[in-house]
Structures are given as structure tokens and as C-alpha cells.
Structure 1
Amino acid sequence: MLGFMDFVQNAFNAASHWNRDNSYGALNATAQALLDFETPKGLRFHISSLAAPNFATSYTVGTVGVVDGSISYLYSSLPLRTSAKSCDIDLHRVIKGYRQLQELRRPDEDWWWELWHGGKRIDRRDTLLYGRIYLPSSTLEALYLRRLSPTKQLRISCVSDSSVKNGGTILALLQNDVGKYSTEYMYSTDSALLGFRGLYNFGLDPRKAVTSPGTAQDFAEPVHGRFSAGAELYYGILNKSGGISAGLRFTTLPQHTGFPYTMTLTLNPLMGNLTSTYAVKAGQNLALCSRFDFNFYSYESDLQVGCELWRRSRNAEIEWAVKKLRPDWNDVALRPDEDVSGVLKARVDRNWKIGVLWEGRIKELLFTLGASLDLKRREQIFKAVGIELQYSSS
């Protein structure tokens, strides 16, 4: 389940019209959400608040061997008009699951962002500041996020920790997204790493669509799927080593009348790794995913399969069935989350390592209950068991 601060950052991206899915780094987001979920360890409790539209706080206490925790603060120059109460938050916004990508949005025009008063331009670029300190280790992490233009964003993140080489590291990302394609330029103080990655979407160019502020794209014919291709290249100046990867993705869009699905293929030629994934939303409440890894240098391979099963009330299931039979009733709908109480996730690989997770809401608390098992270790099958509780207010 997303932490509260990640939820607020997603709200900032939505309010500033930034598409976090249109990047090479998010190429495998669907498979990662279904297969790479973390199972909690021990007991952890989060108390958070969006005290004002521009300010959020979060406190965490955990018991994993010793009592530890963290304190977080976040400031956004852009007011975030979103419900932050744990009893009201749409579970689909905080639980990582099947990612249904939307149609590409035409970027805002530069002049849409201009504010004038008395003949002088007074607008400022939206900025987000975030800091978190871990106790008792005193590790500090921070984030500076600034929208430079409707298509550009600067992201600087840093970590200060005595256990890290040179006492910490800084990563800077300059992101550019015009809809049709996106690019990212990165620099990290760790080994003076320089990198570039990009993603290109085949098909219609959203910049040529007839739109106006706040309206949807107006294409002559609906688009049912999108094919994307991307690559990544990086090089460490100090250690004189680099890497490269490339990937393909095809995903269905909301106009697709069948089951939504996503397929990806990624290749790292230097390491010899080839990875393919297939995820399908097999019903209103069920999503399935598989991932196959193969190394053509060592001939080693791995297979993972996983699923998520949402729990809904009978009323929600009846409503979904009626919509399938009567599409003209789509406007008569309940809240997206009104009858969702939680989701069960499970994964297993060929070595019989299993992860199980149950996420949901009990009254005003969000919870995550999970366990990791290794069926080949008869003497200690359970590797980790834990529960996380979240409470937030606004």
C-alpha cells in the first residue's frame, strides 16, 4: 500500500497535469504492482495529516527487533484539493494494482499557465518539498520537485546516511513529456553517473488533437490500444562502467471492449537478461500476471505468477453486471470505492517462494497484512509476517 506521502505526491502530479505513467521507468509498472509487492515485517503504525491544502505531515512507529520510526513533512505550493481521510480515500488510489493506462493527454499550452496583474506577470512554477528523517539512525532523505513548464519537470532527491559512500548521494532528473514521447536526463553523485532514457508512443499524436483546457481529446476514431518502445543508457564516469536496456509495451486503453491486458518485453544486452510480462484484468475483481526471466549467457531462467482479487459487496457486483448488459447506464454509478473493502494479493515463483498480502480498510484505518513463505525451507517456512496500520486526516 502506498505511504501517505506517496499518495500526496501522486495528488500533486494529478493537480499539475503530470502523467507519471508516460516514462520508460514506468514501463513495467503493472507487473511490478502485481508481483513485486513488499510484505510487512513486524508491526508498523502510520499517523498522517493533510493539515492544509499546502502542508502534510506523517509519523511512523515500528517494531522490528527494536523500536524505530520516522518523521516526514511535505510542502506544496499548489493547493491539493483531495480527500486525505483514511476513511474516505479511494482504495484504488493507495493500493498498487493493475494499471489501466488512459489516453495520452495533450500538454497544456505555455500561455495557459500565465497569470497577469496590473500588466505584470505574477505566476510561479509549482513546487513540492519533502523531507523525512529516520529514527534512531538519523538517516535523512529529501525531495525537491519543480514544474518548469507544461512539459518539463525537475526532480532532485538526496539521501544523507553515514553508511552510504561519501555520506550520502544526490540524484537529479530532468524530465520532459510531450505526450507522444518522453525523455529523462539524469545525474547521480554516486560514481558520477550520467544517464538518459526515453519512451516513444506509436499512433496518434495528442498534440495534434483538437482540445481546449479541461476537455478530453477529440479523435475521429477511438483508439483501443497503445504500442510503446523505449530505451535507457547510463555511464559511471568514476568507475568507468555503464549499462543499456530497451523495452516494448502494448496495453489496451479504456475503449477496448474485451478484457484489459498489458504485455511488455525488456532486454539488457550487456547482462544478457530478457524479461517478458503479461498481465490481464480477467474480470471486475480479478487480475492475473506472469513474468518470465531468461539469461542467454548462463541459460538460467525464472518464472513468477501472481494475482489480485478485490473484495466487493453484492450490490457492486450487480451494478457491474448491469453495466455490461446496459452500457447506457454507465452514468448511473456509485462512488468508485463505495463497495470495495480490500484486495488479496498472492505470488509464487518456480522455487516455491510465496508472498501473500491482504490490504483494505477497517472503519477508519487502512491496513496491510502479509507474509512471506519459502516452502523449500521445512525448518522455517515463514520468512516474515507483519501488519501495517495507517490513519490519516485532513
Structure 2
Amino acid sequence: MREFMDYIQSAFYSATGWNRDNSYSSLNATSDALLNFPTPRGLRLTLSSLATPQFATSYQLGNVGIVDGSISYLYSTVPLSNAIAQSEKIPLPDLLRSYRPLAELPQRARGLGGELIKDTVSYGRLYLPASMLEALVVRRVSPTLQLQLSAVSSETLRNGGTILGMAQYDEGRYAVEGLASTDGGLLGMRGLYNFGGDVGHLNTPVQLVATNGNGSGNGERERIYGRFSTGAELYYGTLNKSGGMSFGARFATLPTHNGTPLTATMTINPLMGNISWSYAVMAGSYCSLASRMDFNVYSYESDWVVGMELWRKRGSWSINEELEQIPAPAPVPTPVSATSDRSFKAKMEWRLDEPLPSPPLDTAEAVASPKEAIQNQPEKKKERSFQAKLEWRLDDPDVDPPPNEEDEEYSGVLKARLDQHLRVGLLWEGRVKSLLFSLGSSIDLRRLDSPFRTLGMEVQFSS
């Protein structure tokens, strides 16, 4: 399950307008989420809180052989008012959905490249009882430039820890990253270039984009409307005198595409001889499928894995459930004249049944349609919010946000994968009341005597 702190970091990037998907490191993000999802081990509990719009905490306790846990803190200079912190209100698709369509590239006005920004987020996590500490600091320098520094401190690592620095430059059409690490003296560079789809409209006036940017009027929307991305990475270890490189390409449909959302990627590592193809498709609102095949030209070995994500539809909330809460009206005797047969006593006296008196007014109201009864019920007075009570005022009109209809559709998701070694991964994620849960297992079908390799459950609560 996606951790609360990662969800809060995503809220920071969303608040500052940074596109995490426009990076070479995120080229296979969709297929990896569908095929490489982790399965929990043992029992793990997580309590998180967004104490203020700028400060968040998280405490985790687990039991995998030994009792362990962690303490996390996060501070952001930008108020994360767009993040929904309460676990019972977090939209499940935002938290659990693996297939994420690419966001449209924003149009950057000229002259903003040199504008200084002081948006910063800092994150720290202490693992117990191992006493391992990890930290992360992200600083936005300008709308196109971001600096990131991460560090890990542990006595089990060489030299007691490692530090990784990264500079990211995102111009929309292309993105470049440079990195340096103390682990082996690693130096690296990677970049991504986009073309097709919405890229051609980045320098187009807004009026023209509104009329032609989505392809309306020229038949572009009827075709597969997507974006091509190609990139490469090159890294070299100055201490161990070794390096590596890789090339990759991706095609992904955009949200404005009318057809089925899909993502196809290919990566090549020429030094190791590995070639990888992956394909992911969102077959419907409740189902996503993915597959990946790896091939090595030196050993002629191939690996494949298929995965599935199936959402469970929440029971429809309709007026029928409200009718069940209304007590059934008392049965009203049917007038005898409306029946086809006379009573036995009337037949013996050679007469018709006497008509029954009309029901009283309250009975007539009771037999009215339940729908009208619901509409005629007096509206309950809404209690003021806590903030309004503190400020000695009434709530503003329409203070409550509209319900998320997309989130109300789903109650949970089942994720499954299978590889060529007959290893199965199952994961069921959902929400019960105010608790987010994740139940999963890894199964090895080749060892039927003890097929379950891992089995665990994670429970999260945030406020």
C-alpha cells in the first residue's frame, strides 16, 4: 500500500506544479506499479497525522520475526491544503490505483525560468531498533529547476552511510537530471525528450490550443491521441571504474484520448544485453492489465510476467436503502366490495358485504408512497463546524465540498501477478470504516507442500 508520507510528498509536488512523471526514472512507473507491487509480511500498523497544513507525522510498528518500527516527520513550506489527510475521506483511486495517465504538459509563460522560488519540503525517518536514519530535502529554485538531497545513515553500510544529490531541470518538452552519490563516487546523467500529442501546443497561444489543441475539428481525437517519449541514462563509478547506460522509449495516451488508455515502453541496456518490453492498458473503469517480457541477447534467457488490477464496485446507494429505514405502514384492510368473493356470512344471509368506512387521515398518509414520505420529512438542522464555533459565526453556504463520485464507486481493489516461475502475488487493498488495510501473500505453485512464501497485513490510519 502506498504510504501516507509518499502521499503527502505527492501533494507537495502537486501544490508546487512539479510533474513527477516527466522523468526518465518514471518511464516504467505504470507497469512497475501493476507488476512489482510489494506484498506485506507479518503485521504492520501505521498511524499518521497531518497536524498542520505544513507538518505531518507518521508512526509505524511491525512484527516480522522481531518487533520493529519507524518514526517519520515531514515539513513543507507550502501549505498542503489540497491533501485530504483523513483516512476515511482519502479517495481510494488516488491512493491505490496503479495505472496513472500522463498529465498534460503545462504551458510555461516566457520569463518565468529565472523567477526564484523558495518552496521546500524536508522529510526524516528513523528505523528502530536498527537505528537507521534516512533524510530527504527537496528545494524548488525556479518553476523549471529543482534540487534534491537524500541521505541514509547506518552502521551496516560502507563508510557508515551514503549521500545522493540530484539536480532536475524540466522544460516540459524535455527534462534533464544530473546526480552524484558518495557510494562508489557515482556520477550520472539522464534525460527525457517528448514529442507528439500535446507537446506541439506548448508554444501555441492559449486561444488556438482551446480550439485545436485537443484535436477537435481535424479528426485527431478519433485517432490514438498520445505522447511519445524517448530518453537515456549514463552513469560511471569513479571509485570502482565501472559504468553503465540504458535507452528507453514510451508511448502513452493522454487523458483527452477518447479510446482505451494504454502505455507501452521499451528499454535497452546494451552493456548487459537486456531488452525489456512492457504494455499496460486500462481495460475499463474497474480493470487494468499489464504484461512485461525481458530478453537477454547474451544468454538467450527470457522472463515474462503478467498482472491485473480489479476494482470492486461499491453497492449502489439509492432510495431503496432509505426506504428500508422507514417502518412499514400498518396494513389497511381492503374494502370487501373490491374483492371478487363475498364473505361466508353474507352468502348465508343472501346479501352483499357492507362497505367498510374510509381510513382515517393519518392512515391515508401512511399508505402514501414512501418516496413522497421521504420528500416530506422535515430537514434536519445542520450542526455548525468546529471552526465556525471558534470564530462565533455561522458556516458559509456550501461549505462542504461536493462528494467525489469517482471515489464512491469503489470499495477496494484486488491486485494479482504471475511470472514464468509460477510465482503468484496477491494483494487486496481497501477501507473499512476509518482504517485502510492491505492483505497480501506470495505463493509459489512449484512447491505445493508449502506454497505460501509470505503472508501479511498492513493497517493504516491517518487524521
Question: After TM superposition, is the score higher than 0.5?
Answer: yes
Where does 1:24-103 land on structure 2 (aligned, <5 Å)? 24-81=24-81, 82-103=83-104
- The residue that corresponds to 2:399 in the other structure is none
- Give the distance between the partners of 2:96 and 2:245, measured in 1 at CA: 31
- Give the distance between the partners of 2:307 and 2:461, measured in 1 at CA: 28
2:272 pairs with 1:271: yes
Runs of 4+ residues over 4 Å off in structure 1: 108-114
Moved more, 94-103 or 247-256: 94-103
Among 205, 208, 221, which residue is 1:210 paired with?
205
TM-score w.r.t. the length of structure 2 is 0.76
Amino acid across the alignment from 1:390:
Q
Check conservation: 1:108, 1:150, Cα contact below 8 A.
Answer: no
- The residue that corresponds to 2:188 in the other structure is 195
Instruction: Return the offset for 1:221.
Output: 3.7
Among 342, 345, 366, which residue is 2:436 paired with?
366
Instruction: Return the offset for 1:109.
Output: 5.6
Amino acid across the alignment from 1:220:
N
- The residue that corresponds to 1:107 in the other structure is 108
1:88–1:184: structure 2 CA closer, same or farther, 3 Å change rule? same
- Give the distance between the partners of 1:333 and 1:219, measured in 2 at CA: 31
Check conservation: 2:418, 2:424, Cα contact below 8 A.
Answer: yes
Instruction: Return the offset for 1:380.
Output: 1.9
Instruction: Return the offset for 1:217.
Output: 5.8
Check conservation: 1:180, 1:206, Cα contact below 8 A.
Answer: no
Instruction: Return the offset for 1:339.
Output: 2.3
- The residue that corresponds to 1:220 in the other structure is 212
Aligned residues: 367
Amino acid across the alignment from 1:371:
S
Among 142, 145, 150, which residue is 2:135 paired with?
142
Amino acid across the alignment from 1:301:
S
- The residue that corresponds to 2:338 in the other structure is none
**1:103-128 Cα shifts (integer Å, max 9, x gaps):** 211236655997xxxxxxxx851000
Moved more, 159-168 or 251-260: 251-260
1:376–1:41: structure 2 CA closer, same or farther, 3 Å change rule? same
- The percentage of aligned residue pairs carrying the same residue is 55
1:371–1:377: structure 2 CA closer, same or farther, 3 Å change rule? same
Among 162, 166, 175, which residue is 2:159 paired with?
166
1:211–1:163: structure 2 CA closer, same or farther, 3 Å change rule? farther
Instruction: Return the offset for 1:219.
Output: 6.0
Check conservation: 1:285, 1:309, Cα contact below 8 A.
Answer: yes
Amino acid across the alignment from 2:411:
S
Check conservation: 1:209, 1:219, Cα contact below 8 A.
Answer: no
1:79–1:206: structure 2 CA closer, same or farther, 3 Å change rule? farther
- Give the distance between the partners of 2:154 and 2:64, measured in 1 at CA: 20
- The residue that corresponds to 1:130 in the other structure is 123
Moved more, 334-343 or 186-195: 334-343
Amino acid across the alignment from 2:423:
K
1:208–1:313: structure 2 CA closer, same or farther, 3 Å change rule? same
TM-score w.r.t. the length of structure 1 is 0.89
- Give the distance between the partners of 2:457 and 2:262, measured in 1 at CA: 31
1:96–1:188: structure 2 CA closer, same or farther, 3 Å change rule? farther
Amino acid across the alignment from 1:209:
T
Task: Indicate the RMSD between aligned Cα atoms, in angstroms.
Answer: 2.0
1:310–1:135: structure 2 CA closer, same or farther, 3 Å change rule? same
Amino acid across the alignment from 1:260:
P
Amino acid across the alignment from 1:246:
F
